[in-house]
């Protein structure tokens, strides 16, 4: 991998990156940054946790003009959490480049957002719904913005936001540069790229090289009745620093959180029914390690970069390979190691096989400590029974003759004078022990 210094990143930016211990570019940064600098439209297909945020922020900020009081760059995201995550990184770099940024998302006071927009931010990050809301109110002007980033485009499609995105893109400057980042490339995302991009350059990072190398993946066989006990057993056994537990529904998240809290664990919930203030508060506590366990829906599967997540548990198996990759990508980030555990019942093994086919790897099945102890006890019992049978067999065995018990007897209980063995009589004549013929 190249260092950022070798990629001719400005000294100001290098100093900012060094403060956070970032020296070398990831594969997606190494390939995407030169293309974004060139002004070309770029399609980047890469899984979560590969460093995509810096891959578009660095080259775009280097080309921005701090003395121009107009919106120059627009970054569109599917979720509030991803917006906040990008905004946090952008603020750090914006200080270096003397730029103003703003994050626009639902659940926040719109009047406060209007006040901030009057200060003419040059880089705008937001969810498509809130951006369109400001556009309709004429409080957001993006007609001069000529660079746009669509982050997690496949997730926007799943949530039905592509129409909103098209309205936003059509409001930008005609000579715009479009950077599209996505973990997968469904047909509708490809169609969007064809409609709004001119001769796009493509970057593709394979999932298996990024996701599987640093994350130990295991499957735990469960039933609905034993899931909670298995989860508590894992927490006690693994002693995670920070653990994320993914469930399919908000109701399930609430049930699991209450059950864990009732058993004395430091756990809280994160899902779409919470207000933005509540969600921000929960994430702040989790980042500060005031919580050990965050129980969440797939709302936290993308865009969240929380340092210190050592374990991810799929309490409910994800629907697709992409969702699986995004979930387990919350751990093992930036070259660190992590562990991902998936609970599977007897009816879900077909779904597990589809995920394994998607990641091109077989996920090992894990035994609990209790089942390992039981297996060890069974093995010891079988060995003991086998030894007992061998002893009984040896004890019951009869010697061939009374001579066989004599210590050091060379004849092994065989009688050379036996009439039953003609060859013995012949041997007796030869060695002088047989009877003389009359």
For the stretch 80-91, pLDDT in tens is 888 988 998 899
State which of 197-211, 261-275, 319-333, 404-418 shows the largest mean pLDDT: 261-275
Residue 230's pLDDT band (cuts 50, 70, 90): very high
Report the pLDDT value the prediction gives residue 437, as an integer from 0 to 100.
47
- H runs (alpha helix) in 239-348: 250-262, 276-287, 321-328
Report the pLDDT value the prediction gives residue 339, as an integer from 0 to 100.
93
Report the pLDDT value the prediction gives residue 400, as an integer from 0 to 100.
54
* Residue 176 falls inside a structural domain: yes
Asked which of 369, 401, 421 is the last residue of a domain, the reply is 369
> What distance in Å separates the CA atoms of residue 412 and residue 400, rounded to the nearest whole number?
8
Residues 195 and 248 in one domain: no
CB atoms under 10 Å from CB of 140, counted, come to 25
Report the pLDDT value the prediction gives residue 188, as an integer from 0 to 100.
85
**H or E stretch covering 101:** strand 101-104
Q: pTM higher than 0.85 for the full model?
A: no
Residues 85 and 71 in one domain: yes
* Residue 421 falls inside a structural domain: no
Give the domain range for residue 54: 11-205
Structural domains in the chain (count): 2
Report the pLDDT value the prediction gives residue 322, as an integer from 0 to 100.
76
Residues 24 and 46 in one domain: yes
Closest CA to 328 of 316, 343, 344, 339: 339
Report the pLDDT value the prediction gives residue 185, as an integer from 0 to 100.
83
Pairing state of beta strands 242-246 and 267-270?
A: unpaired
Asked which of 205, 225, 241 is the last residue of a domain, the reply is 205
* Residue 271 falls inside a structural domain: yes
More confident residue, 214 or 209: 214
Residues 279 and 189 in one domain: no
For the stretch 172-209, pLDDT in tens is 988 899 999 987 788 888 888 888 998 899 998 875 44
The answer to whether 47 and 210 have CB atoms below 8 angstroms apart is: yes
Report the pLDDT value the prediction gives residue 365, as an integer from 0 to 100.
82
Report the pLDDT value the prediction gives residue 158, as an integer from 0 to 100.
79
Residues 96 and 160 in one domain: yes
Report the pLDDT value the prediction gives residue 421, as an integer from 0 to 100.
53
**Helix-strand-coil split of the chain, %, nearest 5:** 45, 15, 40
> What distance in Å separates the CA atoms of residue 53 and residue 74, rounded to the nearest whole number?
13
User: Is the pLDDT assigned to residue 427 strictly greater than 60?
Assistant: no
Report the pLDDT value the prediction gives residue 229, as an integer from 0 to 100.
93
Asked which of 339, 369, 399 is the last residue of a domain, the reply is 369
Report the pLDDT value the prediction gives residue 394, as an integer from 0 to 100.
79
Report the pLDDT value the prediction gives residue 108, as an integer from 0 to 100.
83
* Residue 164 falls inside a structural domain: yes
Which CATH number does the domain housing residue 127 bear?
A: 3.40.50.300
Burial 155-167 (b: 16+ CB within 10 A, else e): bbbbeebbebbee
Average pLDDT of the chain is 84
Report the pLDDT value the prediction gives residue 24, as an integer from 0 to 100.
82
Residue 310's pLDDT band (cuts 50, 70, 90): very high
* Residue 5 falls inside a structural domain: no
Q: What percent of the chain has pLDDT over 70?
A: 86
Report the pLDDT value the prediction gives residue 209, as an integer from 0 to 100.
46
* Residue 282 falls inside a structural domain: yes
Report the pLDDT value the prediction gives residue 422, as an integer from 0 to 100.
54
Task: Take residue 202 and report the two structure tokens written for it.
Answer: 């493509």
Contacts for 256 with CB less than 8 Å, ≥ 6 apart: 228, 231, 245, 247, 295, 315
Residues 359 and 346 in one domain: yes
More confident residue, 256 or 347: 256
Residues 341 and 251 in one domain: yes
Residues 269 and 348 in one domain: yes
DSSP 8-state assignment for residue 3: B
Q: What percent of the chain has pLDDT over 90?
A: 40
> Where would I find the beta strands (DSSP E) of 191-263?
201-204, 215-221, 242-246
The answer to whether 228 and 262 have CB atoms below 8 angstroms apart is: no
Residues 104 and 156 in one domain: yes
Mean pLDDT of 90-119: 91
* Residue 152 falls inside a structural domain: yes
> What distance in Å separates the CA atoms of residue 53 and residue 31, rounded to the nearest whole number?
13
Q: Nearest 10 degrees: CA dihedral of 293, 325, 53, 118?
A: -70
Residues 35 and 179 in one domain: yes
More confident residue, 432 or 29: 29
User: Is the pLDDT assigned to residue 438 strictly greater than 50?
Assistant: no
Residue 357's pLDDT band (cuts 50, 70, 90): confident
User: Is the pLDDT assigned to residue 381 strictly greater than 90?
Assistant: no
User: Is the pLDDT assigned to residue 23 strictly greater than 50?
Assistant: yes
The answer to whether 392 and 239 have CB atoms below 8 angstroms apart is: no
Residues 100 and 196 in one domain: yes
Residues 229 and 321 in one domain: yes
């Amino acid at each position: 991998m190249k260092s950022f210094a070798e990629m001719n990143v400005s000294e100001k930016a290098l100093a900012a990156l060094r403060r956070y211990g970032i020296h070398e570019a990831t594969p997606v940064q190494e390939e995407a940054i030169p293309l974004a600098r060139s002004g070309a439209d770029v399609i980047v297909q890469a899984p979560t946790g590969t460093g995509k945020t810096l891959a578009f922020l660095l080259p775009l900020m280097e080309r921005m003009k701090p003395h121009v009081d107009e919106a120059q760059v627009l970054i569109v995201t599917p979720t509030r959490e991803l917006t906040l995550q990008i905004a946090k990184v952008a603020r750090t770099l914006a200080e270096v480049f003397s730029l103003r940024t703003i994050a626009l998302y639902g659940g926040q006071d719109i009047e406060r957002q209007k006040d901030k927009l009057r200060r003419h931010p040059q880089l705008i990050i937001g969810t498509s719904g809130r951006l369109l809301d400001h556009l309709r109110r004429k409080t957001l002007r993006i007609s001069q913005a000529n660079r746009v980033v669509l982050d997690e485009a496949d997730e926007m499609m799943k949530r039905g936001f592509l129409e909103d995105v098209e309205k936003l893109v059509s409001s930008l400057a005609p000579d715009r540069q479009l950077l599209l980042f996505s973990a997968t490339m469904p047909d509708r995302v490809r169609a969007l790229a064809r409609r709004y991009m001119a001769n796009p350059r493509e970057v593709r990072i394979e999932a298996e090289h990024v996701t599987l190398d640093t994350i130990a993946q295991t499957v735990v066989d469960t039933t609905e009745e034993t899931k909670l006990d298995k989860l508590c057993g894992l927490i006690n056994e693994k002693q995670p620093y920070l653990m994320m537990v993914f469930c399919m529904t908000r109701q399930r998240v609430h049930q699991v959180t209450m059950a864990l809290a009732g058993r004395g664990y430091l756990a809280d919930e994160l899902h779409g029914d919470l207000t933005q203030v509540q969600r921000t508060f929960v994430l702040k506590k989790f980042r500060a390690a005031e919580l050990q366990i965050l129980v969440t829906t797939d709302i936290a599967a993308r865009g969240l970069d929380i340092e210190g997540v050592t374990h991810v548990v799929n309490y409910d198996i994800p629907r697709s390979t992409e969702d699986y990759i995004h979930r387990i990508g919350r751990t093992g980030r930036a070259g660190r190691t992590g562990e991902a555990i998936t609970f599977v019942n007897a009816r879900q093994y077909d779904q597990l096989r589809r995920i394994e086919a998607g990641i091109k790897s077989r996920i090992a099945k894990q035994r609990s400590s209790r089942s390992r102890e039981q297996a060890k006890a069974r093995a010891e019992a079988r060995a003991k029974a086998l030894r007992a049978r061998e002893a009984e067999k040896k004890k019951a065995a009869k010697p061939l003759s009374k001579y066989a018990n004599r210590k050091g007897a060379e004849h092994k209980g065989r009688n050379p004078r036996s009439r039953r063995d003609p060859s013995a009589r012949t041997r007796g004549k030869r060695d002088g022990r047989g009877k003389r013929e009359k």
